[in-house]
Homo-oligomer: A and B are copies of this chain.
C-alpha cells in the first residue's frame, strides 16, 4: 500500500473524485530528521500531513522554547490548517523529529475541499478540535502546575508512547517545558532520590510505582 492509499484509508477518504484531486495536487516528500517544515513568521503555502515519522511544533522567544505538540502519523499541524483558511504568518516553528514522510497539499485546495467532500470536512474539523483541546489542557497545566509536576507528566506521557526508558537530554526536556536545564537537572535528581526514576546518560528510566 503506498502513502496515498494509507492516507485514504486512515482518513476514510472514499470519494473517488477527492482521491483523484489529492493524487493530482498532493506532493509526497521524505525528509530526514531536523528539517524545518514551518518557520515562525513565514507564510504557509502547504498543508502537510504526516504519513510516517513525526514533527515537533513549538514556540520560542529569545533563548527559551516551549513545546506545543507533536504531529504524528495521519495527523496534520492544525496551525497549517488554520493558515489555509486565512493567509497568515506562522506563529510557530515546526521541524521533523525523525525521518519523516509527508503529503503536502497546496493551501488553496484545502478550504475548498472541506466544503465539497464530507470526508475532508471531517478530517479538517477533527484536526482543529483535537488540537484546540490539547492546547487547552497544556494551557491549564502551564497556568496551575509547578514545573516538577509538568515534568513528571511529560515523562509519564512519553513512557506510554514507548517504554520505561525515555531517551532525552535534560536540555531537551527544558525546551519541551519552557524552562532551563539546571531546573530540570535538579528536579530529576530529586525524583531519583525519591525512587521515582533512575537517571542515565541521555536516558531516564521510570520506575513502576
Contact partners of A144 in chain B: CB under 8 A: 61-62, 64, 66, 178
Give bound CA distance, A64 to B145, whole Å. 11
The answer to whether B61 touches A132, judged by C-beta atoms less than 8 angstroms apart, is: no
Give bound CA distance, A115 to B121, whole Å. 8
A136-B178 contact in complex given A85-B129, A115-B118, C-beta closer than 8 Å:
no
Min Cβ gap A186→B in Å is: 20
* A interface majority secondary structure: helix
- Tell whether A138 is near chain B: CB-to-CB under 8 Å: yes
- Tell whether A114 is near chain B: CB-to-CB under 8 Å: yes
Copies of this protein in the assembly total 2
- Tell whether A190 is near chain B: CB-to-CB under 8 Å: no
Q: Which residue from B68, B121, B132 sits with its C-beta under 8 Å from A82?
A: B132
- Tell whether A91 is near chain B: CB-to-CB under 8 Å: yes
Contact partners of A66 in chain B: CB under 8 A: 139-140, 143-144
What range describes how many residues of A lie at the interface? Answer: 35 or more
Q: Which residue from B78, B118, B129, B138 sits with its C-beta under 8 Å from A139?
A: B138
Beta-carbon contacts under 8 Å, A58-92 to B: 59, 61-62, 64, 66, 68, 78-79, 82, 85-86, 91-92
Known: A82-B128, A91-B140, A142-B142. 15 other contacts (CB 8 A): A59-B136, A62-B144, A66-B139, A68-B136, A78-B132, A82-B129, A85-B125, A85-B129, A86-B126, A91-B136, A115-B121, A131-B132, A135-B136, A138-B139, A139-B142
Cβ-closest 3 pairs across A and B: A143-B178, A82-B129, A61-B144
